[in-house]
Amino acid sequence: MQCVLRCDLAAVISVRVTRTGLPCTALCVHPIQACTSLYTMIPVENEHVNLLQDPLDGVFDLTHVSQVISASDSIFREMCGELNDDNPHHIQACFLKNKKGVTRDKLIKWLETVCYILDSFSVPLLQNACDVIDAKTERIDELQREKIGDQQTIIKLQEEVIKKNSDELKEVKSTVQTEMKSYSSAVQRTCSTALSAKKIATAVKNVTDKDDRRKNLIIYGLEETSGEVLNDRAEQVLAEIDEKPLIRDCVRVGMKRPDSKHPRPVKLSLSNSDHVAQVLRNANKLHTKKGYGSIYIRPDRTEEERKAYKELLELLKQKRKSEPNRTHYIRYNRIVSSETNSESVNDTTANG
């Protein structure tokens, strides 16, 4: 019987519990869903049981694991002392038969103490361990479900990006076809010679250039400094309006002239036209920032487009001068007037 008790204590309640508070692998082989005792023992009082403290509010923790280990070591030391044997593995029937000094009362005390430790402490600790395993298993399942959900979201976003790129390619193709039809119609109307290879190349170049410009921004008024890290300065300007797009390229445009009072414009190339549109929508916020009142963010226009926009600005000034009681602003490359003040005046004038 002592051999069985020794094995139970070694495998169930004592040193075989990890310092993390979770049961070791051996405890996971046969999961216990409800560790309840058939009987409730009367409390035992002796020097071994006194090493154990009743849990507060019935909650067991690592402190009780250490106490169970101490109590079990204490009773085994007493057994070895009574048997005059330092080897605890000798506490079993084949050795006890030859020991005359072990009384019936001693055996009863040992049995009662071990049973009390098992019933009042070891079984609840096993139940706690099972509860912890169940909770952690449930949490692992939840994290796995979240991971699957994140992966599905990433796949959906990738599909949207692919569709967006496909739509842009279709738009370029449609623009090329329109340009080609335009040239073809002109040739037919004038009864001129067939479209030359040079004109075809020019048409394709115009379409390509237009598509490239849609991904560009121009910053005007950014002071030039020697040894400047232009990419960092451009990122700083965009950060003022809470925009942080990926800048693929950043250069000054035009020849540097020592006698020029105006800094050269800065051309930024972003990853796609959507990012450009987002920056332009918020570009008006830059004028509210200290030190940025003379810095402007504009689309990348061709020379003809810049000329037309300049003429539009002149017309806007005339409108505001001749009709001061109305609100005038640029929207979609034309001047719009209204009877009431509009918060979008600066928006459209700055980015039109």
Helix axes 104-117, 62-83, angle to 10 degrees: 170
Q: What integer is the mean pLDDT of 242-252?
A: 91
Confidence of residue 2 (pLDDT cuts 50, 70, 90): very low
Predicted confidence (pLDDT) at residue 332 exceeds the cutoff of 50: yes
In the prediction, which pLDDT does 177 show? 82
Confidence of residue 266 (pLDDT cuts 50, 70, 90): very high
Q: How far apart are CA 47 and CA 280, in angstroms?
A: 82
In the prediction, which pLDDT does 279 show? 92
Q: How far apart are CA 55 and CA 61, in angstroms?
A: 8
In the prediction, which pLDDT does 352 show? 54
Closest CA to 9 of 88, 98, 62: 88
Most confident among 161-165, 259-263, 302-306, 338-342 (mean pLDDT): 161-165
Predicted confidence (pLDDT) at residue 100 exceeds the cutoff of 80: no
Predicted confidence (pLDDT) at residue 116 exceeds the cutoff of 90: no
Q: Phi then psi for 330, rounded to 5 degrees?
A: -100, 130
In the prediction, which pLDDT does 16 show? 32
Predicted confidence (pLDDT) at residue 154 exceeds the cutoff of 90: yes
Confidence of residue 20 (pLDDT cuts 50, 70, 90): very low
Check residues 166 and 32 and name the one with the higher pLDDT. Answer: 166
* H-helix segments, the chain: 2-8, 62-83, 93-96, 104-117, 123-190, 197-213, 230-239, 273-282, 303-322, 345-351
In the prediction, which pLDDT does 35 show? 42
Predicted confidence (pLDDT) at residue 155 exceeds the cutoff of 90: yes
The answer to whether residues 105 and 159 touch, using CB atoms and an 8 Å cutoff, is no
Q: How far apart are CA 75 and CA 28, in angstroms?
A: 27
Q: What is the pLDDT of residues 274-319, one digit of tens each?
A: 989 999 898 888 888 888 888 999 898 888 888 888 898 899 899 8
Q: What is the pLDDT of residues 190-244, one digit of tens each?
A: 655 555 667 776 766 666 677 788 889 999 999 888 888 999 998 999 999 999 9
β-pairing, 327-331 vs 296-299, is unpaired
Q: How far apart are CA 278 and CA 268, in angstroms?
A: 14
- Give residue 119's Cα distance to chain centre: 48
In the prediction, which pLDDT does 57 show? 61
Predicted confidence (pLDDT) at residue 54 exceeds the cutoff of 80: no
Confidence of residue 30 (pLDDT cuts 50, 70, 90): very low
Predicted confidence (pLDDT) at residue 124 exceeds the cutoff of 90: no
Confidence of residue 251 (pLDDT cuts 50, 70, 90): very high
Most confident among 11-20, 24-33, 165-174 (mean pLDDT): 165-174
Q: What is the pTM of this model?
A: 0.41
Residues of the chain with CATH 3.30.70.330: 214-300
Confidence of residue 53 (pLDDT cuts 50, 70, 90): confident
Span 214-300 CATH architecture: 2-Layer Sandwich (3.30)
Residue 313 CB partners (closer than 8 Å, separation 6+) = 330
Average pLDDT value over all residues in the chain: 76
Provide the 10 A C-beta neighbour count for residue 229. Answer: 10
